[in-house]
Structure 1
Amino acid sequence: MLPLTVWLCSDNATDENENATRERHRSGLLSGLCPRHRPGVGSELARHLITTCTREGDLVAEAFTTGEATLACAARLDRWGVALVPHFPLAQHIGARLRTTLTETQQGRAHMRPCRPDQIARALTDHHGEVALVIADPPPDEVGDRAVRAGGERECPACRARTSMRTNEQLGLFLAGAWRVLRPGGVLAITTTARHHGGRFVDSGPRIVRQAQSAGFRYAQHVIALRVPIDGDTLAVQAGPTDFAELKDVRSRSLPPAVTVHADVCLFVKGRTGGAR
């Protein structure tokens, strides 16, 4: 059995974070993203991953980037951060967020490169074998080989930038690239969120675990990252407008509205011998 741990990763856990979020709402910096992408990897989850898996001065890379949380956290913790952002409007959005939250010195430690996740080895050619941590948050809403989109939903910059790893070959290219850029003993952290869609339970976790192990990674730990605050012994789940819109007749036999309260984080380690297969 794999070691299992739980991390409290609610970005509303402190007054400081709540005040910062309200300020960003007033400034309009959050208005361009849809609820699904606020954020993919939040600041608390990024902090847990970076402090657990790296040391000061280490290099942290992020793929499937939808926000600034990982770059900002790495810079504040005296690490170097590089995010793969192939979509220019999203890069502009992230850059604006970083300029409002980081000092000039910290901004110098946060970088973006215009490459897709499966091009990570090309994006970090100058850092092969040097990266301490690769963080990836692949799109969770995949069915078969087609990414699922909510009907009628207006796409935000993060939606348009999402490059789904829709085939085993593409996912394999990302894993092989992550292996090349990670140093021996480096960690690959992949976040997944299972959900129901169209009457089906969709969970990309098992496929990712199988392919990561086939690529040579060792599955080291499974983390449950709670995204909602805890009030005593109760999860403080707060419904938003979208959730209320899904309320239905209690006599209906369909599944009730689902609220995401956690993410599954799989931690893989690059061995000190061998290579990607």
Structure 2
Amino acid sequence: MAEPTTSVWATGQQPSRIQRRGRYVPESMRHPGKMLPAIAARVIASYTRAGELVVDPMCGIGTTLVEAAHLGRHAAGVEYEEMWARLAVANVGLARKQGASGFGRVVAGDARNITRLLPDLAGRVTLVLTSPPYGAHTHGHIRSTRDTGEAGVRKWNQHYSADRGNLAHQQLPALLEGFGRILAGCMELLRPGGVAAITVRPYRVHGELVDLPGHVHQVAEEAGLLFVDRIVCLLCGLGEGHLLNRASFFQLHEARKAWARGLPIHAVAHEDLLVFRKPAAPPPKPSPSFRHDLREGRELE
């Protein structure tokens, strides 16, 4: 097998809100941890062909499904929170109205049981594309004194869920154990030689950097996946001889506070895309078309 490589993708040329404008229902912005559409589209275009199957076991508001549909791929997603699952359904429906040729399917459920939720896709999936949660809440949306003229900072849309069963609420060991179960289930859905691509970035807890990409790499290999590539997906933009900052208010605020304490830390300006493959084996027997399966599946309406 070839040695793993590292590449850089310029996926942050436009801010997230611009990438989504008109392509996703406006309510989608409520989700605090959305995958960047440019990353999803680039991964799907790079590792699949038209008509092939893509799965996101933690699909949120359906970014993977929407971008797959627009590229003529078919997709299925699992989402633990029904409110996000219904937004995923709305976004897939919007993609279809806009002429997307791919079909999307959303199941509300716990992806730790993904083989029971999507049994008809076993051995047929070309690409699994997903991202783990980064805790029970994120920075969300903010308005600072500079924006409002009033003292203090107002935050909203920063919570994934109030359900303690959601992996987002778990401490790192339990999060990794649950994510490992999800990846093991995805191994059963992938066809031989199929790709699992995981977007993940490090984060800080009380100023200490947590190497989540490294932990996810280990968990994926323990699930039987073979590491083949690491791609740096830029969250910043590339200007004429300089970078265009896309960091959030709180990322910059925390970095400035650290510098004031003598800790030279910087806001994260990229996500790691870790690419794995399922070991090759004889091809599976032919199975019914995805379109037929879609009508028979547990699709949310």
Compare 204-213 and 47-56 and name the one that shifted more: 204-213
Q: What residue in structure 1 maps to residue 167 of structure 2?
A: 163
Q: Supply the distance in 2 between the matched residues of 1:2 and 1:250 (Cα, whole angstroms).
A: 34
Q: CA RMSD in A?
A: 3.4
1:137 positional shift? 0.2
State how 1:182-197 maps to structure 2 within 5 Å.
182-197=190-205
Q: Deviations over 1:179-235 (max 9, x none)?
A: 100000100111110122202110122222223222221101111111221002322
Amino acid at match of 1:102: R
Q: What residue in structure 2 maps to residue 265 of structure 1?
A: 273
TM-score normalised by length of structure 1: 0.79
Amino acid at match of 1:120: I
Q: 2:60 aligns with which of 53, 56, 66?
A: 66
Q: Supply the distance in 1 between the matched residues of 2:100 and 2:30 (Cα, whole angstroms).
A: 24
Amino acid at match of 2:18: E
Q: What residue in structure 2 maps to residue 2 of structure 1?
A: 4
Q: Secondary structure at the match of 2:260?
A: coil
Uncovered stretches (5+) of structure 1, i.e. residues with no partner: 142-146
5 and 248 in structure 1: CA distance in 2 versus 1, 3 angstrom threshold? closer
Q: Is the 8 A contact 2:57 2:111 kept in 1?
A: yes
Q: Supply the distance in 1 between the matched residues of 2:44 and 2:203 (Cα, whole angstroms).
A: 27
Q: What residue in structure 2 maps to residue 82 of structure 1?
A: 76
TM-score normalised by length of structure 2: 0.74
236 and 125 in structure 1: CA distance in 2 versus 1, 3 angstrom threshold? same
Q: 2:27 aligns with which of 26, 29, 42?
A: 29
Compare 2-11 and 251-260 and name the one that shifted more: 251-260
Same amino acid, percent of matched pairs? 23
1:177 positional shift? 0.4
1:239 positional shift? 5.0
Q: Is the 8 A contact 2:201 2:272 kept in 1?
A: yes
State how 1:117-266 maps to structure 2 within 5 Å.
117-141=111-135, 154=156, 158-160=160-162, 163-164=167-168, 166-167=173-174, 168-243=176-251, 246=254, 252-253=260-261, 255=263, 258-266=266-274
Q: Is the 8 A contact 2:69 2:95 kept in 1?
A: no
Q: Is the 8 A contact 2:72 2:101 kept in 1?
A: no
Q: Secondary structure at the match of 1:112?
A: strand
Q: 1:95 aligns with which of 74, 89, 92?
A: 89
Q: Is the 8 A contact 1:82 1:111 kept in 2?
A: yes
